[in-house]
Amino acid sequence: MPEPEATGTERDAASPGSTSGSPSPRSIAAWVLVGLVGAIGWGVLALSRGEEISAAWLLAAALGSYAIAYRFYARFIADRVLKVDASRATPAERLDNGVDFHPTDRRVLFGHHFAAVAGAGPLVGPVLAAQMGYLPGTIWIVAGVIFAGAVQDMVTLFFSTRRDGRSLGQMARDEIGPVGGAAALIAVFAIMIILLAVLALVIVNALAHSPWGVFSIGMTIPIAVFMGFYLRVLRPGRVTEVSVIGVALLLLAIVAGGWVAESSFADTFTLEKETLVIWMVVYGFLASVLPVWMLLAPRDYLSTFMKVGTIALLAIGVVIAMPTLKMPSVTDFAARGDGPVFAGSMFPFVFITIACGALSGFHALVSSGTTPKMIQKETQVRMIGYGAMLTESFVAVMAIIAACIIEPGLFFAVNSPGGVIGTTVESASQAVTNFGFAISPEALAQAAKDVEEASLLSRTGGAPTFALGMSEIFSAVVGGAGMKAFWYHFAIMFEALFILTTLDAGTRVGRFMLQDTLGNVHKSFKDVSWKPGVWFASAIVVAGWGYFLWVGIKDPLGGINQLFPLFGIANQLLAAVALAVCTTLLIKSGRLRWAWVTGVPLVWDATVTLTASYQKIFSEDVKVGFFAQRDKYQAGIDADKVLAPAKNMDDMHTVVTNATVDGVLCALFALLIIVVLADAARTCLKAVRDPGSATLSETPWTESKIVAPAGLIATAEERAELAAAGPEAGGGHVKEPVA
């Protein structure tokens, strides 16, 4: 039977932060001011007609929009649509085993969740999408996160929490039906492998031959283990204390990385890509099998300080330095679709390229993976689900700012493949001029010299461009031009750390998904802490993404260029699964009138993503279609000709194999998602016609003994409740001993 639409006023009253009473005049004035700031920012961006404008206006538009969305729309969804229940025990409380299920302080969990979801996407995607101009990407980032991305994350987290932290694929099987569920299980797991491989590839490209980055990031592992034992064994509940120690050690590791790079130990930490792949696989396995409190949660929490701190300082730098947006608001490539960075028209490819930061299916895996097994209270889904996604979206905004404040000529020289611009500053200058953006050979050489790099040409993947923009902003505030090299390399290391935290959490989520799936065959796998299942599933997951990672570093066309389009499509198709599951659950649980909250973004996402899939499969343009690319290189092999950028016949065969695999996977993903959507539509229609036939797999209500705030800062009522509950235990308080 569907759950009741409401459970009484006591449930609403139990939800800290629920709307009650009339707002004060001061509150009204403050929110009107916030709204005006955002509106003025958007107005300036919209009315710009070719003149350079300050990046600060873009910042104002985004921040104003985020604040309004979190205060009003997110609260509306939590209180009216989901009806979060503070009195209901979460699986972290009921099933606490100290390994996968563990009630975690909301501040630590916010850090873990944000670090887990904020990977390569918000840094790489917006940079690549800047090819179309700053306006299309910015509109999608802000509007997409408010109405789609953050909604998906919060609603998925809520429904998974109500189902003992079930994975997205398993929820689809339980709630949609065996056919759509089976398709979802296969699609979600396969897509997960591709996503993790691309995340790992960006890290490998950033850390290769970088002793500074390898040392600094390597040191975050023992620091995190120390923090885990400190918080669980030495000083339980002392979150602020361990945070100060952890941040101090992290800053020391960053500084020490520079010392190591200049010392005799530099060669030890200078690793080839192949070596990094092996270490990444080993680390991913260990992070997946160790208790969550020992490595994963403290490391992600630690990384969040650097992530959020750096992005916040970058925003402050934008306000102080007031850099201008040098990229046009909309470039000619948006209409022509023949850009050198990626091929394809603005619709649908901007919405695919900017995956994370606006809408990301990967987030639904974390929201139905590690996070629901650690959350203390249902009332925290707004802060952790919606709030963390807004924070990631802000990272994406900063990335598009970083890409658009550098000279467009330099942007295209850095992000265009060598086969398009050549290998010399002279050839690159001529090619970029042909694009319509002039830059001299001397300027290209000087840009590389400023950051102490031999060359910046064809440094594709987005990370170097973000680092260039970041060095421009920071050096304008601190140190001047002489500090550009330091800030550039700091940014490269920052990006690698940013992404690695997604890889370890993602591997663990992949393990949960595989165990859920195998549990349908062998019941022992249903226990996600069963040791043989843990080791077996973790090994399968790391072997899967490890294979595609190895293929990526060996690809003649550049792994990121081959895998990122597939990454974007797969990620957004995964979002379609998550939104379909959420919409189905809203309808089955008697919330039909609110189904538009997830239904509208589902229709948009499915339209965009299936259009992109069709073009990548059937397009005859070699730059767009996977199979068109395969046919071109196969014809070269048949004619015994080596086509650039391949250097020999082995490279030619590699391109053919990779393009074929990418095309087949793209077609498979699209087909599976169509099956899921069709079965979800059938289930929803049945529930609407006969509400009494709807069955839910929700865990029965159990009273919660934990008292914990809903938001980052406790309200006066919450502080009083905490004080009355007794001594602190893990960031929350226990009303009475739990049986």
> Cα(428)–Cα(441) distance, rounded to whole angstroms?
8
Mean pLDDT within 119-146: 91
**Angle subtended at Cα 17 by Cα 151 and Cα 36, rounded to the nearest 5 degrees:** 65
CA distance 552 to 80: 46
pLDDT digits (tens, 9 = 90+) for 456-475: 888 777 778 998 999 999 99
Is the per-residue pLDDT at 736 higher than 50? Answer: no
Q: What is the pLDDT of residue 88?
A: 95
Residue pLDDT, tens place only, 186-202: 888 888 888 788 878 87
DSSP per position, 373-399: GT-S-GGGHIIIIIIHHHHHHHHHHHH
> What tokens does 250 get?
């992290």
| pLDDT, position 1 | 40
SS percent in the chain: helix, strand, coil, step 5: 70, 0, 25
pLDDT at 81 over 90: yes
pLDDT at position 94: 94
Structure tokens at 13: 């009253």
pLDDT of residue 518 exceeding 50? yes
Which positions ≥6 away from 593 have C-beta within 8 Å?
none
pTM beyond 0.95: the answer is: no
pLDDT digits (tens, 9 = 90+) for 653-694: 888 888 898 899 999 999 999 999 999 999 999 999 998 888
Average pLDDT of span 606-631: 93
Q: What pLDDT score does 18 carry?
A: 43
pLDDT at 327: 93
Tell me the pLDDT tens digit for each residue of 195-228. Answer: 788 878 877 877 777 787 788 888 888 888 888 8
Counting residues of the chain whose pLDDT is more than 90, the rounded percentage is 44
Amino acid at 332: D
Residue 729 has pLDDT above 70, yes or no: no
Return the number of other C-beta atoms located less than 10 Å from residue 231's C-beta. Answer: 26
- Mean pLDDT over 622-630 rounds to 90
Q: Is the pLDDT of residue 16 over 50?
A: no
What is the C-alpha separation between 219 and 496, in angstroms, rounded? 13
Burial of 563-599, coded b for 16+ CB within 10 Å and e otherwise, reads: bbbbbbbbbbbbbbbbbbbbbbbbbbbbbbebbebbb
Cα separation of 585 and 576, whole Å?
Answer: 14
Q: What is the average pLDDT across 32-36?
A: 93
What is the share, in percent, of the chain residues with pLDDT greater than 70? 93
pLDDT of res. 520: 74
Q: What is the pLDDT of residue 644?
A: 78
What was the pLDDT predicted at 558? 60
